[in-house]
Amino acid sequence: MNLRDHWDSLSPETRQWLTENPGCVVLPRTITETIHQETGITADSDQHDQAPLSPEDLDFLRARAEATPAPPEHRFFDTIQPGEG
C-alpha cells in the first residue's frame, strides 16, 4: 500500500485512526475503503476487503505513532479550592 507516499493525502481523521492503531496488521474494510477514496490507491485485499499492511507500512505507522503527542490528560477539579473548606 505504501502509506508513507500517500500520508499527506489522507484526512486528519484517517491519519489519527492509523496512528492510534499502529499494531493493526490488517486494515478493516472501512479504513481500506476510506484510504482508497482519499488517495485513489487500491490495496490488495482479502475476500472480506481487509488489506494487510506491509512491514514497511507497519514501521512507518509505528514511527508516526511514537512521534504523535499524547492527547491531553483529563483533570477533574473539585468545586472547593484548597483552604476554603
**Within 10 A of 58 (CB to CB), how many other CB atoms are there?**
16
More confident residue, 52 or 72: 52
CA 8 to CA 38: how far, in whole Å? Answer: 10
pLDDT value of residue 2: 87
Beta pairing, strands 26-27 & 51-52: antiparallel
Q: Note the pLDDT of residue 82.
A: 60
The average pLDDT across 62-66 equals 92
